[in-house]
Structure 1
Amino acid sequence: MHQTNNSSLTPRYFILNGIPGLEAAHIWISLPFCFMYIMAVMGNCGLMYMISHEEALHRPMYYFLALLSLIDISGCTAFVPNMLCIFWLSLKVIDFNACLVQMFFIHMLTGMESGVLMLMALDRYVAICYPLRYPTILSNTTITKVGLATLTRSVLLMIPFTFLIKRLPYCRGNLMKHTYCDHMSLAKLSCGNIKINAIYGLLAAILIGGFDIFCISLSYTMIIRAVINLSSADARHKAFSTCTSHICAIAITYVPAFFNFFTHRFGGRSIPHHVHILIANLYLLLPPTLNPIVYGVKTKQIREGVIKLFSREKDTLSVR
């Protein structure tokens, strides 16, 4: 099964074997994943439509939310359709270069999601601590610049992963016990020295996740200090309520991500491999599925926008 080029030990393709040990249950496992994917696409498309069509939502906070929704749709689309092909059709073969492209986009988009959550924390900091200067500080030009900076950071930090993988010799075979192409899973198939892969993976996680969490923590420290100094209890409650949906999104994103990161590196054999793979899929799919629900339930302006949109549709149908 293992085919290589004559000049190297680079395989022409990899075989993604799905979730090891649970092959008989692939069909049943695919059903909740498929349902979550549909919910993620519909929910995030609905959010983007709402933000683009409702003038009341044309504010920095919702622009960042629309960007987060776009990243979420792209992120889960980068691996879920391919995973469902593995589960339903046993289409397990993926070209070597296609595998590298999938790996790059998955890691790049997760890095961008972290960056947007950090920008949303800074947005809440400016809105609460400098409300009068909010429109000036977070102008459309500024939002565009920081959005492009977040994209550039993720792209530049993830490009080296492709070269680090391509340089490795793959003499242990091309069967990968995973549902998508992941950097360390690919590196562990190699018989070469992968120390630099592990070090750079940790460095990228610190430069993105570590930096973003530091900025988020600093922003919320300043927010708490500002809110505590407010004289009115109602004002404090209102200020905190504008942050609840963002805090939920942070928890949904970072808790499974860090659990996956640390179990992958330090879990060893204490955690079964199929649990690793399930967590790796959930940490990519859970935030896109739950974020629209969290923001739809917790954000008053979005709830009002949904009601207004359905009212308009109802009026249009009545006229017809």
Structure 2
Amino acid sequence: MDSFEGYPDKWLGKSPDIFARDDLPLFRVQAVVLRNGPDEMGRASMIQVRSSHALLEGSDSALLTRSASAGHGVMSDKSNKVGLGARIKGTLRGWGMTFIYVVLANLLAPREKPWGFKTLALKRHRLRLLANKLGVRQRSLMFALVTHALNGEGEQRHMSKKVIGAAYTMLDGKRHDADDDFFRVRALEAKFEVIDDFVAYARKIDDTIDKIEKKDITKFQVMMNSMFKALRNLNRIAPFLPGKRFWRFNGGVHVVLTLVPPHRTYGPMTHGMMEPIYCGAWHPAANICTFCPGREYVTLNFTMETRHIANVDKIEALLAKVEAMDIAPGRKAIAEDDSV
């Protein structure tokens, strides 16, 4: 190729070819190489790894970036017992939610919508400085930038005029015996009240996250794991269930905000690799933004309805606008570890 202009976005898609052949593993690796050698930034080639999400999580990608083994082993902790009552309640809720979702999905799932893919790379230092200025977590700031910009202002809201339904993920080292033996990630639900003033909005999101994570997150995760198990069993009994429409049903969630572990290059596998590093996922029912922090950059990786993709460019403009504001202090900056 003559240049990297338009990449990695030109590469991005739904990747149905991964499942086209049974004799190949569920991943593909591609590369592009500049015809005339390294560019002005020293980049000579670009590599893309595509995989089934059942094979690779964001945490696995982070491990591979550090030349570490991504083998999961058994992820549950059998020594950390979940109470019998919580387990029974979670299992019943999981089976109940599975039944409800399968029925509702096959009745109410929307048709396939036009889908788009886009990436954005931001300097980590910019986000760190602004988060400290606002007195919020860096991830709260990132969640606020994305949802505020994509939702729009005034009467023409693209997600909701009152409350944005969000699902977000985190990695939690406190495993228990009811955990899934493969998935590392934790899924949480949040409702973000729509506020026009960005400073107030970002701080409200930070307060919302704080309240959610001070509660016992085991309850929701036990239910989710029960749903996974119920869906597998249902499919074994009736292979036509849950059906294709099920995967297009999002249950009222406007956006999924996924934060993967830091992708920091180390070791022989990524020797010579340069930032920014991109990492994302596509799902037929979810407008997803995956945040991938590195040493110098955080990349935002969007797989969304095309009507939202058009607003991704507003994120950096919003960031610059808030950076230029004279923000009155009043909140103590929240200490975070370096993994955001």
TM-score normalised to structure 1 length? 0.27
Q: Which has the larger radius of gyration?
A: 1
Q: Structure 1 or 2: larger strand share? A: 2
TM-score normalised to structure 2 length? 0.26
